Amino acid sequence: MNGRTSAIRFSSRSAVALALASFAGAIAFAWPLLLRVPADGVGHATDAPVVFVILLPVLVLVVLAEISTGGIDSKALAMLGVLSAIGAALRPLGAGTAGIELTFFLLILAGRVFGPGFGFVLGSTTLFASALLTGGVGPWLPFQMLAASWVGLGAGLLPPVRGRWEILMLAGYTAFAALAFGFLMNLWFWPFVLGDDSAISYLPGGSIEENLHRLLLYSLATSMGWDIVRAITNVSLVLLLGPAVLAVLRRTARRAAFGSAPTPVSAVKPGVQQHVTPV
């Protein structure tokens, strides 16, 4: 028992929709390594909105499909709204300051407790809400949303351990996710930010290995410091606040009893005293 509650239970159709969305997103991120394109292309200024148009309906369809099959109830939707709002409020507190980012630790802990489906949707809704809050809507937003969704999804798929080992596992995953997020965000725009005359520029027609090597060098030279600070910040929050936050989220999940219907008053037998646990 790992203390995880599936606040959004996956049916086969929602799993297929999620797999298709993730596959399309992976192609959108990795095409510079897979395709041979000129270095002076227009970039994602035109195709990023297309990804946005594809991503959001898929997420909405996942939620609607789960509602129609009883996979998500009003309590899960309310929890999704509350955590999205908290995550969106946390992000401006550190974003833009030496890489400090306060959103990922809550996303990872929520994905751990409420399951991979909840984590996937929470990643997108949190980044979308924070972009509206901070005016950060742009061609980078759909990529940020999908990358954050993968972070929440992965947290919900971690193996079932508890206690100190769980916190250490979550801290390690948080460090990996923070660095991977930065790497993915570099990948989507890297071919178009430099000319073709440096050792860290995108090489049109180059092999996957060569361009991957150049991308790693570019990341080390530009964003690695920010990514490391993001990792340190969120790992520290997981280690310090993780046990308390996990306990609160798990207690909330137990009391919410996601997916269970409330017992109607008419079903209570006369003369039987009902014991209600105080909140």
**Per-residue pLDDT for the chain (279 aa), expressed as one digit of tens each?**
455 667 676 667 777 777 877 887 787 788 777 766 554 544 444 455 566 556 666 765 665 565 456 566 778 788 888 999 998 888 777 655 556 778 899 999 999 999 888 888 898 889 888 888 877 777 778 888 888 989 999 999 999 888 899 999 999 999 999 999 988 888 877 777 766 677 888 777 777 888 888 889 988 888 888 889 889 999 999 999 999 999 999 998 888 766 555 444 444 445 544 444 444
DSSP code of residue 192:
G
- Under 8 Å between Cβ of 201 and 140: no
- Give the other-Cβ count within 10 Å of 61's Cβ: 14
**219 φ, ψ (degrees, to nearest 5):** -65, -40
39, 152, 36: which is closest to 104 by C-alpha? 152
Q: Report the C-alpha gap between 1 and 173 in whole angstroms.
A: 20
Q: Report the C-alpha gap between 82 and 156 in whole angstroms.
A: 18
CATH architecture under which domain 12-257 falls: Orthogonal Bundle (1.10)
Return the domain boundaries, the chain.
12-257
Q: Report the C-alpha gap between 203 and 39 in whole angstroms.
A: 7
H helix intervals, the chain: 12-34, 47-68, 74-94, 104-114, 116-134, 141-156, 164-189, 208-222, 224-256
DSSP code of residue 189:
H
Please tell me the total number of residues recorded for the chain in this structure: 279
Cα–Cα–Cα angle for 206, 209, 214, nearest 5°?
Answer: 75
- Give the other-Cβ count within 10 Å of 270's Cβ: 4
For the question of whether the overall pTM of this predicted structure is more than 0.95, the answer is no
Q: What pLDDT is stored for residue 46 in this prediction?
A: 47
Q: What pLDDT is stored for residue 44 in this prediction?
A: 47
- Give the other-Cβ count within 10 Å of 229's Cβ: 17
- Give the other-Cβ count within 10 Å of 150's Cβ: 21
Task: List the structure tokens of 32.
Answer: 């510079």
Q: Report the C-alpha gap between 120 and 63 in whole angstroms.
A: 11
Task: List the structure tokens of 203.
Answer: 């090489």
Q: For residue 34, give every residue at least 6 positions away whose Cβ sits within 8 Å of its Cβ, in sequence order, or none.
A: 27, 208
- Give the other-Cβ count within 10 Å of 171's Cβ: 20
Q: Report the C-alpha gap between 241 and 234 in whole angstroms.
A: 10
Cα–Cα–Cα angle for 118, 145, 92, nearest 5°?
Answer: 100
Task: List the structure tokens of 10.
Answer: 């996956």
